[in-house]
Amino acid sequence: MSRPHGIPLPSAHRSSDPNETGSAFGDDKQGQPRPREGVRQLTGAERVRTLVESNASVSLTLPGAYDREELGTGMPAARTVTPDGDVILLVSGESAAARAAAHAQDDDLTAVIEITDVAPVSVPHRIRGRAWLAGWLTPVRGAADRAACAALLAERHPVGELLGLTESLDAPSAGRPAWMLLRLEVGEISVDDLWGAEHVDPELLAAAEPDPMVAHETELLQHLASSHGDRMGDLCGLLGTRETAGLTAVPLALDRLGLRVRFTRGATAFDARFDFPEPVTDVCGLRRAMSTLFAG
């Protein structure tokens, strides 16, 4: 098993300039840790695609709206990415986004999706990252296209409000459908997360695959934190020459390449990344990788 990559938290770096918006972690006193060079990691496009397909919090904003009440449009119920790299959003038919998009042409209505990724366990600096996707918003038009997009959404989110989605899209209530599918043609992408801040080429989003562990990450991290604190503590022994007395270990993030753990002692915190022997593609592979990790 490879040794972990220690990633200490940087010293306080928050700018005194209130207008500075360069980092998603500007509100954090110390900020998030950043990786050393040479650490295996997902590409920027893979990280953004994973966030889009995850259950992370998402908001939709229409910066070009004239009515201030139209600027913030709320939270889409679900989203996914088409094979062409467009983002499909399911919104309430009564939402500001649905009303604004109803009459939009191809380049009339600009919009920004902001996705905020929060660790599913309690740790210092709990926001793990943010991604922004900006582009042009239009309704998904045509029965065939709506059916195809609804099927894609239902594949990603096969429960809850998506059951019977096709029927609800075509059945207006008081002159407006209960749900509306919107298409964001993406023109610009940026991400600021545990791995760093970068711009992502929109053309790479369609080709990128979401991390296969995204559907299991929350459950596994919460299970490790609540039921296997002793096993997590054993990872302190893999930190090499670092002083480990009094350290608390909490699982922070998981992907197909490894597990990231946040170690704390009082006000001091640092991250370590534990690479799996090889990338995992399913739950069976993940179980084997975790067994190898805890075997030390």
- Digits of tens for pLDDT over the chain (296 positions)? 333 343 333 222 223 333 333 333 333 334 555 545 556 889 999 999 999 999 899 999 998 665 544 555 568 988 999 999 999 999 988 888 888 888 877 678 999 999 999 999 999 889 999 999 999 999 998 889 988 998 888 888 765 555 455 555 555 555 567 888 999 999 999 999 999 899 999 999 999 999 999 999 999 999 999 998 889 988 888 887 677 788 899 999 999 999 999 998 888 888 889 999 999 999 999 999 999 998 86
Q: What pLDDT sits at residue 184?
A: 95
pLDDT for res 105: 74
What is the CB-side half-sphere exposure of residue 112 using CA atoms within 13 A?
A: 16
Q: Where are the alpha helices (DSSP H) in the chain?
A: 44-53, 96-101, 143-156, 165-169, 202-207, 217-227, 229-234, 283-295
pTM of this prediction? 0.81
pLDDT of residue 129: 94
CA atoms within 13 A on the CB side of 235: 32
Please state, in angstroms and as integers, the Cα–Cα distance from residue 223 to each residue in 227, 228, 261, 267, following that order.
6, 7, 14, 25
